[in-house]
Amino acid sequence: MAALTDRLESDDHVIRSVAQGAGAEGERSYWLKAAGLPEQTPHSRYKPNWRKGEREKWTSLEVQGVGVETWEGSLPNHVMRNDKILSEANYIGPLKLRTSTFPVKATLARGRRNLDKSCRACGYVTESQAHVISACPRLKDQRIKRHNQVCGLLARCAKRGGWRYMKEPRLRGQDGKVLKPDLVFVKGDKGVVVDPTIRYEQTRTTLTDGNREKVEKYKQVIDQLKTTLAVSDLTVYGLTLGARGGWASSNDAVFKALGLRATSKVQFITKAILSTLDLMRSHNDYQNLALIGPKHSGAWAGPQGGGPRYVRLRLANLSHESHQKC
């Protein structure tokens, strides 16, 4: 109906004439009647915002809709759309991340209850996309590395803006515990504390919660830092990046406080996405390692004999790390 109306109400008189000559008015009346709508139904009534509708449907999906709200807005989608930022080779991966369709066991076993879902890298909990990206102990070193890369990127950006900085100063919290914020910047009489992290987007508030928690955690050392650094103004910020490219508007405050260009935000989103893809690839390597042939053959192999057999890779001294630290 929308297409028919577009033609019948076109600014171009030729298109209008052709549509009328082709019986578009009668056809529109027929469809309006079939839909139970009056003849004078406004155009907008049957030309709904299909993007909005599709997004709502996507968001409501139990698995594939997790975290969709965190990449609303122009910035996260700008990164996805711009082929100068994400190459063609790196485009499909982020789409799979956003739709939770990477071929991890939790995805592959959907609707097949009897399949083993334990992680092929660590052998423990369910191998979900969220586990691989934010919790699998086998990938802990890689997550620490990417966290350090994000800190390094922020430090370089701030340094170009004339900020001096120190990494992880040891401070004493109110309960006597040691606190080590990732980065402390100083310029003139002003200090800025930033503790970046990357989190898997689980809910609408995952990223804003991350920033709020960081501020809450480090506000107790503000006076201590002000005295040590001899600054009169010091503010604490979190910088919580979405592992799948999500962005929280509360992150903007960091860039404003440090006087960084808004365009530099793109670098952080891109870094988060690409490093997450690296994590998935590394996990995929573990999958290949776990795919072995006949028992005790010692050979790298695909399906042999009775087909592929997955083995659990046991870890000694497995640590239960936080899901929140990248």
Strand bridging mode 190-199 / 233-242? parallel
Residues 241, 272 contacting (CB under 8 angstroms): yes
Measured from the CB atom, the residue of 119 and 292 that comes closer to Zn ion is: 119
Should residue 119 be labelled a site residue for Zn ion when binding is judged by CB under 5 A?
yes
Q: Are 134 and 67 in contact (CB under 8 A)?
A: no
CB of 285 to Zn ion, least distance (A): 13
Alpha helices by DSSP H, 128-263: 129-134, 140-160, 206-218, 222-229, 252-257
Decide if residue 104 touches Zn ion (CB under 5 A).
no
Cβ contact 139:283 at 8 Å: yes
Shortest Cβ 325–Zn ion spacing (Å): 16
By CB atoms closer than 10 A (0-12, 13-18, 19+), residue 192 is buried
For residues 138 and 122, the answer to whether their CB atoms sit within 8 Å is: yes
Nearer CB in complex with Zn ion: 63/315: 315
Nearer to Zn ion, 208 or 284 (CB): 284
154 binds Zn ion, rule: CB under 5 A: no
Q: How far is the CB of 242 from Zn ion (least distance, A)?
A: 21
Question: Distance (Å, rounded) from C-alpha 193 to C-alpha 184?
Answer: 4
CB closer to Zn ion out of 135 and 221:
135
Which of 122, 272 has the CB closer to Zn ion? Answer: 122
Q: Which stretch binds Zn ion (CB under 5 A): 117-125, 151-159, 172-180, 216-224?
A: 117-125
Q: Is 280 in the site for Zn ion (CB under 5 A)?
A: no
Interacting span for Zn ion (CB under 5 A) from 128-136, 169-177, 206-214, 271-279: 128-136
Binding mask 129-148 for Zn ion (x = CB under 5 A): -------x------------
Which is closer to Zn ion, CB of 124 or CB of 163?
124
CA distances from 223 to 48, 103, 220, 292 (A): 54, 49, 7, 57
Contact residues for Zn ion (CB under 5 A)? 119, 121-122, 136
